[in-house]
Amino acid sequence: MDRPLLQPTDRGLWCEAGGFHVDPWRPVEVAVVTHAHADHAASGCGRYITAAPGAGLLSARVRGADGEVPEIEPREYDEPFDVGGVRLSLHPAGHTLGSAQVRIEAPNASPDRNGGVWVVTGDYRPSPEAHAPNTTCAPFEAVTCDTLLTESTFGLPIYRWRDPAVIAEEMNEWWRANAAGERTSVIFAYALGKAQRVLSMLDASIGPIGLHGAVDTLVGVYREAGVTLPATQHANRDNATEFKGRGVIIAPPSTDGTPWLRRFKGKHGSRTAFASGWMAVRGRRRWRSADKGFVVSDHADWEGLLATVRATGASRVGVTHGYAEQVSRYLREVGAGNGPIESFVVPTRYEGEPADSGEADS
């Protein structure tokens, strides 16, 4: 094989041998999509291939302005299939419902620097907390490969996630204290993935749980896929009094300060919190003037990233999204635990989780 199996182009990662792109950022003929977040699933593609559990989410995100649903080909996890003569399979990424890693096997199967088995992680979240797993999607599974292309959204040693069970307890105690003071609780979270993870952490016995319309629609897709979540209501003007002073509202960050959100204030106002991996950095806790920050992330932290590199056994690692330069240099100089490893940066138009975007995937 003269050229690498996957090549960066102005439309995203391109597999010439199979005639498809992985997570393109512009319309292409054939798109293999890791998950439905906007920076991985471009609208207007001719054909989409994605993991079956996430097909409903992808359909909701890429349908045309006229409501027309494009061709979406769902594939079961771990099921090999061919595209243009190239063998692929999709494997759980632990990021959102239906999120997948893409395993691609070069036609010549030679494990040289250009061929062999490649794995594109997309966004992923290893789950070492076996006693408190994420129940909103299939758990991450490391896939053996020759070349690994990994995200690095939180690829610095300062990002080390705490036990989600502890975070959930803190979140519910915060809500409980607010309710005791007749203050409505508001948690800002990205509508797809993060909001559902936050919802799964809440104790519905404390009070009613209200959802912004954008969150409510996607929670419905999760429920249809068989994900068990606490009872909720679509929060609106008709039921606003039910949430005032005792309920919790989950809403996108863009609703902060809007008339829609102000209608739910309790007798003594409301308290706001932001759920994001960026809350691990103290300065970020004042972002958007939220009263509280909860470290809830759907991405690999520093230890998770290095553990994934080790588990795959990859001899080459391409790094993209976020701290790509820093992680790639670290792997070349130090490695992931077994000595230095060949590493390179994969260009991208996206950062993985822009810290200054209220609608960022976090």
The candidate with the shortest Cα–Cα distance to 148, out of 289, 308, 37, 32, is 308
User: Residue 283: is it exposed, middle or buried by C-beta count within 10 angstroms (0-12/13-18/19+)?
Assistant: exposed
On whether the CB atoms of residues 5 and 114 are closer than 8 A, the answer is yes
Answer whether residue 208 shows pLDDT above 80: yes
The pLDDT score that the predictor gives to residue 347 is: 87
Residue 261 and residue 237: Cα distance in Å, rounded? Answer: 10
The pLDDT score that the predictor gives to residue 355 is: 47
- List, edge to edge, every strand of the sheet that includes 100-105: 81-83, 86-92, 100-105, 117-120, 147-152, 316-322, 342-345
Q: Each residue of 313-355: pLDDT tens digit? A: 999 999 999 999 999 999 999 999 989 999 999 988 765 554 4
On whether the CB atoms of residues 343 and 317 are closer than 8 A, the answer is yes
Phi first, then psi: give them for residue 310, nearest 5 degrees: -65, -45
pTM for the model stands at 0.92
Indicate the residue type of 22: V
Residue 317 and residue 93: Cα distance in Å, rounded? Answer: 17
Indicate the residue type of 42: A
What is the average pLDDT across 247-275? 95
Answer whether residue 97 shows pLDDT above 70: yes
Provide the 10 A C-beta neighbour count for residue 195.
26
Q: Each residue of 291-301: pLDDT tens digit? A: 999 999 999 99
- List, edge to edge, every strand of the sheet that includes 184-188: 233-234, 209-211, 248-251, 184-188, 270-275, 292-294
User: Residue 158: is it exposed, middle or buried by C-beta count within 10 angstroms (0-12/13-18/19+)?
Assistant: exposed
Residue 244 and residue 248: Cα distance in Å, rounded? Answer: 9
Q: Each residue of 106-145: pLDDT tens digit? A: 887 566 666 799 999 999 999 765 445 678 999 999 999 9
The pLDDT score that the predictor gives to residue 74 is: 97
